Structure 1
Amino acid sequence: MGLLTFALNVTLDGCCDHREGIADDELHDHFTQLMDAAGAMLWGRVTYEMMESAWPAVARDEKAPQAMREWARKLDAKPKYVVSSSRRDFPWNNTVRLTGDLHEAVAQLKEKTPSGILVGSPTLGAALERLGLIDEYRIVLHPVLAGHGPTLFQGLASPRRLELLSTKRFASGAIAMHHRRAEAR
């Protein structure tokens, strides 16, 4: 069974608005490596639509920066799963809508994807965390104070303890952190 890894950028004050991070080559390379290691991507509809509106065009743009284009081309080829109750049509290459009970659908996806799944949607991530489905967390903390939200994992009923596995400092001052669920004490 593959691991479900939550991966996202966040500012120092907890904002997970994608426009607030430092999107340089090093960051794109980091997320490309994470995607390369995973067997599939998993998003909610809002994140899917944001990604669909930008990355297929970058994959075809020969003038796009190399790190962005590599991310976009690999993302285009990667299996993508979307959780949506309102949208049924997903024309982007290799995109499938997950249906049925969220816990059961994601558990089945983890079972059939031994190399793991990378989820990068804040709202879906919070729902998956409430269901106890996230195994690892790959958060990049940016040295930015955004002054607004949204923030990660809103609405959890109780705290979750995590174990830090590694950190990596980027030239921009961002820090990539790799956590997993801590063993129950």
Structure 2
Amino acid sequence: MRRLTFAMNLSLDGYTAAPGDDLGWSVPSDELFQWWSDRVGATGTALYGRKVWEGMSSHWPTADQQPGATPAHVEYARRWRDMPKVVFSSTIDTVDWNTRLVTGDAVTEITRLKAEDGGPLDIVGATLAAAAMRVGLIDEYALVTHPVLVGGGTPFFTALDDWVDLALVETRTFPDGVLLTRYETRH
């Protein structure tokens, strides 16, 4: 069974994006950017919601060809292009860059993917993750918390019908007061 991790940047008040989908508060330090790059390099398949997919696919496929691209950005772009991806959306028609589109039920497909052999799965996008969270499919939460209060936006967590018990497995501090906390679900 493959492990499913929900990992995203979030504000201290719990949002993955500020109102208007503003992400300006979550610019990573070089050290944090490398952590994200290493995570992409170790991911078997990334599961994207439409909004995050549109943002990532508008930049990373050619980011390594942009003037002034740093070696870290070149490496991330290559890793991102090479990583198998699944996009869940009923509003887009095509995807590219080593990506497959799923227009049907996300929970059914995520359940099927978890049962397959292969590397770990990362779920990217709070709305998609909420569907998996509500039915207990997420095995690990990686919260990269930035010391900013944005006052609203897209929440990292969704409302749940039942408690989910978690075990802390890692904490790490990054520059600028950013804190990684990783939790595994206790099944």
**After TM superposition, is the score higher than 0.5?**
yes
Q: Which amino acid aligns with 2:44?
A: G
Which of 175, 179, 186 matches 1:171?
Answer: 175
* Correspondences of 1:17-36 after superposition (within 5 Å): 17=17, 18-36=23-41
Q: For 2:51, what is the secondary structure of its paired residue?
A: helix
Residue in structure 2 matched with residue 104 of structure 1 by the alignment: 108
Residue in structure 2 matched with residue 7 of structure 1 by the alignment: 7
Which of 66, 69, 82 matches 1:64?
Answer: 69
Residue in structure 2 matched with residue 147 of structure 1 by the alignment: 151
Q: Which amino acid aligns with 1:52?
A: S
Deviates more, 1:68-77 or 1:58-67: 58-67
Which of 131, 139, 154 matches 2:135?
Answer: 131
Q: Which amino acid aligns with 1:49?
A: E
Distance 2:62 2:152 in 1: 29
Query: Which structure features the higher share of strand residues?
Result: 2
| Residue-by-residue CA offset, 1:47-90 (whole Å, 9 max, x unaligned) | 11111111113132252122233212210111110111121211
Moved over 6 A (4+): none
| Residue-by-residue CA offset, 1:98-132 (whole Å, 9 max, x unaligned) | 24332221122123352111111011011110121
Give structure 1 stretches of 5+ with no counterpart.
none
| Identical pairs, percent | 35
Distance 1:111 1:50 in 2: 29
Give structure 2 stretches of 5+ with no counterpart.
18-22
Q: Which amino acid aligns with 1:102?
A: A
Deviates more, 1:14-23 or 1:70-79: 14-23
RMSD over equivalenced CA pairs, Å: 1.6
Residue in structure 1 matched with residue 162 of structure 2 by the alignment: 158
